[in-house]
Chains A and B, each alone.
Chain A
């Protein structure tokens, strides 16, 4: 495979980092500060996009920064998968930045400079993780991301966020130190390299029990992916301001977890080894439990953001499920769900935040009749929900279609049931919200009074309309993402 050396991946990572001192120095001028965020966000997105043609043509872009031991370096390598993830994260960062202006100012939040600085740091780490060439670099950015998001989760600095922040770190930092770190060093001990390669790095040096234990250490260790029983940090993290929940806890953070597991399965173990030891099924069972249990718990949540969080937990496991199918179609369906779920779920979170800012309501039971007041928000919510359930005409349909074909291709028909049951549950916990929103009776008013439209401010509404539209567009034009995955996985 042809490799081009370029400094672009490094720049794409650093651009949000460089802007942090500027943000701090302009902390008294919110408008100046916010415009710098956009400058950095747009430059980052352009840098990422500028690498797209090269990647689509089947080449890779690489850059080694520090070689610390043979086979263990801090290095970037942009391939199809990384590119897909980076495009999703960088584009949604811009949209979220608009949203976050509306949200933070709408609620007159404190500490806004601190908030935007750590947000920028978090997005840098996300892009870094997407472009990592080896497990060491991935681990590095994974840890930076965990630490950078802690002040965002604990933003309110009150007792509730202290408890949630503690749980957040215990699960995320705890598992990565206790499980991933030793597993990673053990891999290096056995093979002398940590470089991702589609053939895997072990080359027959691993017995089946050792491989199973290692794989489980990675799957549970990357707890950002929300595999049960290490999922409960995600609902706890919902105390954060909604832009954080939207971008970080529906897209960036959780998907770095999933992305790491995908990388380990496809780049460290390799599909062949997993197939030989029959480990795909093990991971699929774990993922299936999370898919079903997550959906069931989501049903019982009345706080909208928590319901979305449990839905995310369940949806993340779709991705792992798809990759663990080890069949081309299944892997395509799984990985493309990174993008499809991102646009759907972020729309839902944007809506939850807009409802909160406009009306102060957090609980689903309070939301009946609200759709008449906030028609755009609820329409977008409907689109987002269809995306997550997997109904046409949204991108979510494409991933679910491929996942189901994947189960057939891999001859795992029984697992197809998991997907079908889960879709049913998804519909069950999302659609009543929309239905009651539009057709239910509101608590305060009688039917006679004419309803006035009371949407949240434009900074909140425009982003959610944009992401809803993209969700629909992706149904018709998933080609770029599909090609990236085909190039990335060599399928």
Chain B
């Protein structure tokens, strides 16, 4: 069947519609519909990835309309990979969400699933589309749904965090749209491939320069690159955990994908690294983002907030790698899209399990957690090692490429920042481990009965299995990073 590219995006959309309708009849019906919708999407994404690996880029025309008039989905190795990541994580998260959604949003589960599916549809669309304006529309779909989701969360602080998010999000989208407008003015086209063709002749144009800068700022706001990150920590930590688990790993990573797409496909390396010569400045910006994110994470007292700032730090990794101007850096950035999505997902899954049992996750609430929730903590520890960059977890291997790229470009400051951020992450996570491992106020030599046996109170099995599998996948992804780089990333960059 040739319609897999459309199915990836269309099934979650249809499922959203039906899940919303079904909730009118019976609240419980919406969950299986959502599950089926995403399962089809994952399967299609897998098929498409295999097809792209085997026979190259797929151009899919919506309803048969030819570009530049019609909307084209153009799926190459890069977005085939991101599509699979997005649909896969969304699907796994749905499995883990069954219990926690019921707990957190009690009577609103139906609307939760509807919005969730629309959000995922938006992300998948952003990734698949080959059209600049279409991209804007889909970004807005993801954004609007996430505003709603954040507002669904924490009763007290959710609405304010959401409002904040709306303001900044709208500004970001406007920047992007304005940039697209300038580009349309200059080229008269919105199809990415078409625009790229036209642009290659007019590199000196100042209109193009303005368009590029506006679009980049818009994208950076949406991806929360420091210092444009201020909306992220509150939005992520006050939304329902079932949503935080999917928005944290996916939203920023998809925006990194969009940035890389603009750099490689639309504007082209020559334009960015030869004509503009901005890479030095941006790599410095990324360096600061890495350090600032890590340092801000240090001062957090809430686990969710801490992880949110780690995301800000990791964004710096990917921006720095992408702007390094060499193949190694770009390889690192793309590999880190996959790895960081997996690691963040694993961390938030573990946090989700904790929230399910403990309700809130201020660091001091976590005492004795190794005894109480050993499996959850095992998953958390693995994910933390991956963030720190301990081999053989996948976080090590993307860091490897990023540092190698920095050496090749002579950007030693970026390499130093990566090392320092690893050290800070080690401090951060061991601070958490200490709280979970040591007993408060205990004195003297711990023998026999002075240690009371803690009863195990774990999260539901469905959540544990997903969290365990994703954490193990960090090691698998790490061991097979060679394969991933050789079959997906390097062929894409050539």
Contact = CB atoms under 8 A, between A and B. Distances in A.
A185 B391 contact: no
Given A185-B400, A186-B407, A189-B404, A157 B434 contact: no
A67 interface: yes
Interface residues of A, number: 41
B407 A147 contact: no
Interface in A300-324: none
A74 interface: yes
A67 B486 CA distance: 11
Interface string B381-411: 0000100111110000100100110011000
Contacts of B422: 177, 181
B403 A157 contact: no
A156 interface: yes
A185 B443 CA distance: 43
B24 interface: no
Contact of A158 (B392, B400, B404, B444): B444
Nearest to A67: B482
Contacts of A136: 391
Contact of A185 (B403, B437, B450, B479): B403
Contact of A177 (B426, B447, B485): B426
Max count, chain B CB within 10 A of own CB: residue among A68, A72, A110, A181: A68
Contacts of B447: 107-110
A58 to B, nearest CB: 31
Interface string B422-457: 110010001000100111001111111011000000
A467 B195 CA distance: 76
B426 A156 contact: no
A109 B479 contact: no
B446 A157 contact: yes
Contact of A156 (B389, B404, B446): B446
Contact of B442 (A73, A158, A174): A158
Contacts of B400: 72, 185
B372 to A, nearest CB: 14
A157 B419 contact: no
Contact of A157 (B404, B416, B439): B439
Given A173-B426, A177-B389, A68 B482 contact: yes
A143 B390 CA distance: 7
B479 A147 contact: no
Contact of B423 (A166, A177, A185): A177
Counting chain B residues whose Cβ lies within 8 A of the other chain, the interface size class is 35 or more
Nearest to B368: A157
A165 B422 CA distance: 19
Contacts of A108: 447-448
B404 A188 contact: yes
B35 to A, nearest CB: 31
Nearest to A66: B479
Contact of A68 (B388, B445, B481): B481
Contacts of B480: 66
A110 B451 contact: yes
Interface string A148-189: 000100111111011001100100011001100110011011
Interface in A55-72: 65-69, 72
A187 to B, nearest CB: 10
Max count, chain A CB within 10 A of own CB: residue among B389, B391, B415: B391
Given A66-B482, A185-B407, A158 B443 contact: yes
Contacts of A4: none
A154 B442 CA distance: 13
Interface string B201-242: 000000000000000000000000000000000000000000
A139 interface: yes
A182 B443 contact: no
Contacts of A144: 390
Contacts of B479: 65-66, 74
A139 B392 CA distance: 10
Contacts of A161: 438
B403 A182 contact: yes
Contacts of A143: 390-391
B415 A182 contact: yes
A111 interface: yes
A140 interface: yes
Contacts of A159: 438, 442-443
Nearest to A188: B404
A143 B68 CA distance: 53
B402 to A, nearest CB: 10
B397 A68 contact: yes
B437 A139 contact: no
A140 B419 contact: no
Interface in A273-300: none
Nearest to A179: B419
A147 B385 contact: yes
A154 B437 contact: yes
A472 B366 CA distance: 52
A181 to B, nearest CB: 7
A264 to B, nearest CB: 17
A107 B407 CA distance: 53
Contacts of A173: 426
Nearest to B444: A158
Interface string A83-121: 000000000000000000000000111110000000000
A311 to B, nearest CB: 24
Contacts of B416: 182
A357 to B, nearest CB: 12
Given A66-B479, A177-B422, A185-B400, A156 B434 contact: no
Given A169-B426, A178-B423, 12 more contacts: A65-B479, A68-B481, A108-B447, A110-B451, A136-B391, A151-B437, A154-B437, A159-B438, A177-B426, A181-B403, A182-B416, A185-B400
Interface of A: 65-69, 72-74, 107-111, 136, 139-140, 143-144, 147, 151, 154-159, 161-162, 165-166, 169, 173-174, 177-178, 181-182, 185-186, 188-189
11 contacts: A66-B482, A73-B482, A109-B448, A110-B446, A110-B450, A143-B390, A161-B438, A169-B430, A181-B403, A182-B415, A182-B419
Task: Give 5 closest A-B pairs by Cβ, nearest first.
Answer: A68-B482, A140-B391, A108-B448, A156-B446, A110-B451
